[in-house]
A and B are shown apart, each in its own frame.
Chain A
Amino acid sequence: MTPAAASELLPATRNALSLLLLSLADDEFVIGFSDSEWTGIAPMLEEDVALSSLAQDELGHAQAFYRLLADIVADGRDADGIAYDRPPEGYYHARLLDHPRGDWASTIVRRYLYETADAVRLEALASSSWTPLAELVGKIRREERYHLMHVGAWFERLASTPGEPRARLLDALKRMGPDAGTVLAELPTELALEMAGIATSGSADLEARWRAGLAPVFTRLDLPPLPATADPAHARTAHSDAFRRLHADFTAVRQIDAGATW
């Protein structure tokens, strides 16, 4: 049994756990910020409120993961410090989230691919041996259920509406398909995480589970199957120009006034 207090973890375990938490937090943070770009310009007022609220949920999840991470790193930085005070290349989110918000179909495809993969990842982490993570993931999964319902409704709708909706969805799938699997790509510290029981499934298992879940949906909607993950060894590094622009946006206030509070 892994001790609950971060200070009691073995150094190697602590490092591995830090990287896992950073990947979870940065994923939620980046998709949350990127989706929030729809605030004010979503296709309908109701959808504007809905997507903005979902984006806020993701930022809330990111904050909770950053807090756990801050406890483990214990270098004096708080959650905001970790979230905002890094150069773009210091972020560790999956390459799928490097794709810009794009049009509505791109946002839906990005969310759909991300949320389905995230659900598989969180399901496995819900039985993590590190109880602070297992408990947090238990709460987050209850919110993510709705996220899946919301994005699933849009994905099915766009895919089964001929003409522009389906064409735009197919185009987005073509662009993002090769990066979809990056959410579940192996972390360099996977072995240490599995040995400590912090991760209960290997990334290959998770990815297989995720693909098996998506396959019948793609078949039913007559969508081309998802390609294999491109360059999985660099799934979370070497970020895009689109992310650099997003980073410049979300760090703007912090750079003007480092002590600003919300």
Chain B
Amino acid sequence: MPRAVAKPSQAAAAGLEPWEVFRQEKEGDAMRHGGSVLAPDAELAVHYARELYGRRQESVRLWVVRRADVHDLDDQDLLQPPLDRSFKKPGGYVMRDKLAAARERSGQAKPRARTGGEPTAPEGTDS
């Protein structure tokens, strides 16, 4: 077998196809795309994935997926539609003023921050 098969046409001629490798760095982490390997079948694809993406103990789990089984979606009408979508984001609903007004109506004081001292702004308000 050639040491490196660069072009898809050569790979196909050699009976190889691309497999996408996803790796998990530690238990509980999300699976992240690591890269790909060329292999003639799933068994060898897993071996190669182990060598390329796991031999240095950098992974606790690998997923190996035939690229042809990946459904690709890059239609910009579906992913980046042109209308304002701010109402789809929870940040569009600013609760601080409403909460303050509701507390005032009910006569309740604002709960103290757990760390004490000055109340801190809700997360994300200044980022």
Contacts and interface: CB of A to CB of B under 8 A. Distances in A.
Interface of A: 53, 56-57, 59-61, 64, 139-140, 142-143, 145-146, 149, 262
Interface in B83-110: 83-85, 87-88, 92-93
Nearest to A142: B77
A139 B85 CA distance: 12
Interface SS, B side = loop
Interface residues of B, number: 11
Given A56-B87, A60-B85, A262 B78 contact: no
A145 B78 contact: yes
A59 B92 CA distance: 15
A146 B79 CA distance: 10
A102 B77 CA distance: 30
A61 B78 CA distance: 15
Interface SS, A side = helix
A53 B88 contact: yes
Given A142-B77, A146-B81, 4 more contacts: A59-B87, A139-B82, A143-B83, A149-B78
Contact of A146 (B78, B84, B93): B78
Contacts of A60: 83-85, 87
Interface of B: 77-78, 81-85, 87-88, 92-93
B83 A64 contact: yes
Nearest to B83: A139
Nearest to B93: A262
A222 to B, nearest CB: 29
Contacts of A140: 83
Given A53-B88, A56-B88, A262-B92, A146 B83 contact: no
Contact of B77 (A56, A64, A143): A143
B104 to A, nearest CB: 15
17 contacts: A53-B88, A59-B87, A60-B83, A60-B85, A61-B83, A64-B83, A139-B83, A142-B77, A143-B77, A143-B81, A143-B83, A145-B77, A145-B78, A146-B78, A149-B78, A262-B87, A262-B92
